[in-house]
Chain A
Amino acid sequence: MTRLRLQIRKTPAPGPPTPAKRKPAKKTKKAVVFFEVEILDAKTKDKLCFLDKVGKILPSFSLHWYPARQSIRLDPKGKSLKDEDVLQHLPVGTTATFYFRDLGAQISWVTVFLTEYAGPLLIYLMFYFRVPFIYAPKYDFTTSKHWVVHLACMCHSFHYVKRLLETLFVHRFSHGTMPLRNIFKNCTYYWGFAAWMAYYINHPLYTPPTYGEQQIRLALTVFLFCQIGNFSIHIALRNLRPPGSKTRKIPYPTKNPFTWIFLLVSCPNYTYELGSWLGFTLMTQCLPVAFFTLVGFIQMTVWAKGKHRSYLKEFRDYPTLRSPILPFIL
Chain B
Amino acid sequence: MSAPAMGTRKTAHTDSSNKKKKGPGTLAIAYLVIYNVVMTAGWLVIAVGLVRAYLARGSYHGLYYSIEKPLKFFQTGALLEILHCAVGIVPSSVVLTGFQVMSRVFLTWAVTHSVREVQSEDSVLLFVVAWTVTEIIRYSFYTFSLLNHLPYLIKWARYTFFVVLYPMGVAGELLTIYAALPYVQKTGLYSITLPNNYNFSFDYHTFLILVMISYIPLFPQLYFHMIRQRKKVLGHVEEYSKVE
Contacts and interface: CB of A to CB of B under 8 A. Distances in A.
Interface of A: 200-201, 203, 205-207, 210, 284-288
A210 B197 CA distance: 7
A200 B199 contact: yes
Nearest to B195: A205
A200 B202 CA distance: 12
A287 B200 CA distance: 6
A44 B195 CA distance: 61
Contacts of B194: 200, 203, 205-206
B200 A207 contact: no
22 contacts: A200-B194, A200-B199, A200-B200, A203-B194, A203-B199, A205-B195, A206-B194, A206-B195, A206-B199, A207-B199, A210-B197, A284-B199, A285-B197, A285-B198, A285-B199, A286-B199, A286-B200, A287-B198, A287-B199, A287-B200, A288-B199, A288-B200
- Interface class of chain A by DSSP: loop
Interface string B190-222: 000011111111000000000000000000000
Contacts of B197: 207, 210, 285
Interface residues of B, number: 8
- Interface class of chain B by DSSP: loop
List the 5 closest pairs (A to B, CB-CB), nearest first: A287-B200, A205-B194, A205-B195, A286-B199, A287-B198
B199 to A, nearest CB: 4
Contacts of A285: 197-199
A2 to B, nearest CB: 47
Most chain-B Cβ atoms within 10 A of its Cβ — which of A201, A207, A285?
A207
Nearest to A203: B194
Contacts of B198: 285-287
Nearest to B197: A207
Contacts of A206: 194-195, 199
Nearest to B193: A205
A286 B195 CA distance: 11
Most chain-A Cβ atoms within 10 A of its Cβ — which of B197, B198, B199?
B199
Contacts of A203: 194, 199
A175 to B, nearest CB: 28
A248 to B, nearest CB: 33
A159 to B, nearest CB: 19
A210 B196 CA distance: 11
Nearest to A288: B200
A207 B194 CA distance: 9
A185 to B, nearest CB: 16
Nearest to A207: B195
Contacts of A288: 199-200
Nearest to B200: A287
A284 B194 CA distance: 15
A329 B198 CA distance: 28
A286 B198 CA distance: 5
Contacts of A287: 198-200
Contacts of A201: 199
Nearest to B201: A200
A210 B199 CA distance: 11
Interface in B72-109: none
A201 B196 CA distance: 12
A10 to B, nearest CB: 37
Contacts of B201: 200
Nearest to B198: A287
Contacts of A200: 194, 199-201
Given A284-B199, A288-B200, 19 more contacts: A200-B194, A200-B199, A200-B200, A200-B201, A201-B199, A203-B194, A203-B199, A206-B195, A206-B199, A207-B195, A207-B196, A207-B199, A285-B197, A285-B199, A286-B198, A286-B199, A287-B199, A287-B200, A288-B199
B236 to A, nearest CB: 25
